[in-house]
Amino acid sequence: MVDVDAVLEAAGLKNDHVREYVKYWAGITGAAEIEVVSVEDDARLVQEALAAGEILPAGEDLYYSRSYYKDTARSEERTIVATNNPADKGVYNNWYPAAEMKEKLTGLMRGASAGKTMYVIPYLMSPPGSPLEKYAAGVQLTDNRPVVLHMNRMARVHVDFINNLHDPDSFVRAVHVTGDLENLGQGTPDDKRYFVTVADERMILHFGSSYGGNALLGKIAHGLRQAAYDGWASGKFLAEQFMLLGIVDRVTGKKYHIAGGFPSASGKTNLAMTLSPGALGDRYYVEFYGDDIAWMWVGEDGKLYGMNPENGVFGVAKDTNENTNPTAVEAIAPGTKAIFTNVAYNAKTNEVWWEGRTPNPPADLDGWLDWKGNPIADRSPAEANDPWAHPNSRFTTTLANVPNIAEDYNEPSGVPIDAIIFGGRTRDREPLIRAITDLAEGVYDGLTLGAEATFAADGLDGQLRYDPMSMRPFMSYPEGPYAAHWLKIIGETTDKPIFAHVNWFQRDAKDGHFLWPGYRDNLRALLWLMQLKSGEVEGIESPVGILPSKDELNTDGLEIDPADLDELLTIDVDRWKQETGFRAAHLEQFKDLPEAIWAAHRRVAENLGE
């Protein structure tokens, strides 16, 4: 048994509550060694991981990692929120009693790190000094070195963050045990993976994965599930799966900030990293704050403030290239210490590749391995069309590497939020943008956000898979109180953000092409929204919000078929009436939904002539 006290003392870890916590779980997991990590240790840990073959070189200060082939994405079915209060059960949070889950996870973790090093990662999910700092401190324990390397990039990692806590007992206890990945029965009735947030005890227990949100516990387990619960329990803030960006107008000198929720893999990273379309580039400049999580609170001046609790980007690799996302390409260039996971790798040249990186895959197959590590050159004809990279393969890089990172991204004050936008993948009905000025109607719109039903989700034609506020997989408390908490927080502002629903994914009914070019041109819709808010344009009232008139939308240099633009800026009332019925059924699932939300629903239905 390791002398935990001696190791923690030598590492300068002074917090007695942290010491007790580490000792307890070191005992349960049976780890052979304990090591406290600060970000300064990264270079050494990288060398150790390279020497052990856990990561591979991928160019100058770039690294490649591969996860077990049955462990390549966040698992929604195995994710649980547990508390001591059965009233915390919601429709989406997969609630279980805390005592049952703690016992279950303790059993699974017992002895499961035997022979391994348990890394102690003190972290902060906020800029130091933030008004929400007390909700941001955590200590992750993990028996997996590549997970440590990812945490060093995604969170602020330093022993000082938990030595100097205002309340030394107020930190999230986040235990990650990898488990025997080859024997966990992933996807079978005997699945042994459990990803549990014991929200009212601020404890996270994840067993059975080394990938992404399952293993980097600062990110969605703490940054979203735990923080959303804390924000509600304290009545002080919102924690949402939102991107956060700034728009600088070089002519007027004004700066706007927009936060927005799009379901996973629906364009948050791309929007937050976007550059202005060429013709507008002299005037407008987009600044990156965050691409996956925003915490929002009301400032003393009555404005809504927001900040990105993360310190890095865990971005979808697929289709990332110089045209779609040049900023991302720069953020993962040689020298950035970025880590690529589950993309294709060339063992001879150390290059990486993924679908959409270049129009065609490398012609010379020599040395190329697919994401599972199998040589591409040895593929059978039946495998010839399999992707080289996993569709959910990702890159990990720190915020400081993003070329358009906002100068003030690390400021504890956060930034005032002018607008909150929602957007999903919707092939019809949803126009390019519709603005909503009423608070309850804005919250109602977020609660009815959805993305198209795919082959995986059974649904009626035209019906969405609803993903309220893009939080469906991260919801930690019931939906009725969630809506009430939104109304309360934004209701406390004296300078309200404007709401809007955006859709970059509308398609032509006949040939299926995207009506809107998307990517950089998305800025045009956001600029109109800022002009509407400041009264520079009026827009056109529709039953479901205010739409831009064709003259108001800045189309300088935009290449679009005028008929497509017409369609993007009109409302299909019949489809909307059908949607209203689906929405009522969706909202009826939620207990204690505030009357203000139902009233908003009825107003929209009446506007449509229902």
Q: How many CB atoms lie within 10 A of CB 385?
A: 7
Q: Residue 423 interacts with ligand SPV (CB under 6 A)?
A: no
Q: Residue 311 interacts with ligand SPV (CB under 6 A)?
A: no
Residue 238, helix vs strand vs coil? strand
Question: Pick from 212, 277, 416, 442: which binds ligand SPV (CB under 6 A)?
Answer: 212
Q: How many CA atoms lie within 13 A of 79 on its CB side?
A: 21
The single residue listed with the structure tokens 């348990």 is 118
8 A C-beta contact, residue 561 and residue 510? no
Q: Specify the stretch interacting with ligand SPV by CB under 6 A; choose among 94-102, 211-219, 478-486, 531-539.
A: 211-219
Reported as type and span, the H/E element at residue 212 is helix 212-215
Q: Residue 277 interacts with ligand GTP (CB under 6 A)?
A: no
User: Which one of Mn ion, ligand SPV, ligand GTP, none is in contact with 519 (Cβ closer than 5 to 8 A by kind)?
Assistant: ligand GTP
Residue nearest to ligand GTP (CB): 518
In the shown chain, the binding pattern of residues 474 to 513 toward ligand GTP, with x for contact by CB under 6 A and - for none, equals ------------------------------xx--------
- Nearest-approach distance from CB 270 to ligand GTP, in angstroms: 4
User: Which one of Mn ion, ligand SPV, ligand GTP, none is in contact with 324 (Cβ closer than 5 to 8 A by kind)?
Assistant: ligand GTP
Judged by CB under 6 A, how many residues of this single chain contact ligand SPV? Answer: 8
State which of positions 240-269 bind ligand SPV (CB under 6 A).
264
Q: Specify the stretch interacting with ligand SPV by CB under 6 A; choose among 62-70, 161-169, 201-209, 213-221.
A: 213-221
CA angle 69, 453, 583 (to 5 degrees): 135
Q: Specify the stretch interacting with ligand GTP by CB under 6 A; choose among 149-157, 188-196, 265-273, 357-365.
A: 265-273
Nearest CA-CA partner of 143 in 32, 39, 51: 32
- Nearest-approach distance from CB 85 to ligand GTP, in angstroms: 29
- Nearest-approach distance from CB 280 to ligand GTP, in angstroms: 16
Q: Residue 262 interacts with ligand GTP (CB under 6 A)?
A: yes
Nearest CA-CA partner of 312 in 277, 338, 287, 342: 338
Distance CA(38)–CA(376), nearest Å, equals 39
Residue type, 551: D
Nearest CA-CA partner of 416 in 301, 531, 269: 301
Could you tell me where the DSSP H helices lie in 535-594?
Answer: 562-568, 573-588
How is 85-100 classified by DSSP, letter by letter?
-GGG--SSS-EEEHHH
Q: CB-wise, 241 or 554, nearer to ligand SPV? A: 241
Nearby residues of 290 by Cβ (< 8 Å), 6 or more positions away? 242, 243, 244, 272, 307, 308, 309, 310, 399
Strand partners, 284: 249
Q: Which strands make up the sheet holding 352-353, listed edge to edge?
A: 352-353, 344-346, 368-369
Q: Residue 220 interacts with ligand SPV (CB under 6 A)?
A: yes
Q: CB-wise, 133 or 292, nearer to Mn ion? A: 292
**Residues within the interface to ligand SPV (CB under 6 A):** 74, 212-213, 219-220, 264, 292, 314
**Residues within the interface to ligand GTP (CB under 6 A):** 262, 264-270, 291-292, 315-316, 318-319, 324, 504-505, 514, 518-519, 522
